[in-house]
Amino acid sequence: MEETAALAATTDLSTSGQVLFVVAAIIALVSAVVTVTQRSPLRAAMGLLLHIVSLAALYLSLHAHLLAAIQMLVYAGAVVVLFVFVIMLIGPGALSSRPDERGIHPGEIDGVETDAPVEPRNKTLPIRPRTADPLPSTESIQGAGEQPAE
């Protein structure tokens, strides 16, 4: 009996630990939604960073200190920094949708925004008119590098 009471006393969270757990859980849920719903890739990466930090706080509240440290070093310190580096290398505005020549955004059909790409109706390639004369024919391989006689 005493053994189970001692075990229960060591596994219970203190009041501040419970508050930290609830706050970190709420922040984790909100930041996960922000990560998925943001249209800007940079803001989505910042939402992912906040989510990873809140998960580390959850691990701390559960007394998993090594797991929290690894979470911060590997994910927040390397993966998110790599994401932000690639986003900034490409350019944050390059990933947003731009209207085509008709003024229609790629994710918009009849004023309703969708995430599916809009395929063009006419998939044929334009035919370019021939602007240059065809290459002169030569009788043998020796005349291949010579200029044509005028």
Rounded to whole angstroms, how far apart are CA atoms 10 and 4? 10
- Using a cut of 0.85, tell me whether the model's pTM lies above it: no
pLDDT at 112: 54
Between 44 and 103, the more confident residue is 44
Amino acid at the residue 54: S
Write out the DSSP string of 108-140.
EETTEE-SSPPPPS--PPPPPPP-SPPPPP-SS
Amino acid at the residue 51: H
Write the pLDDT tens digit of every residue in 17-47.
Answer: 899 999 999 999 999 999 999 988 889 989 9
Residue 56 pLDDT exceeds 90:
yes
Confidence band of 94 (pLDDT split at 50, 70, 90): low
Rounded to whole angstroms, how far apart are CA atoms 128 and 142? 32
Residue whose pair of structure tokens reads 């075990």 in the numeric block? 7
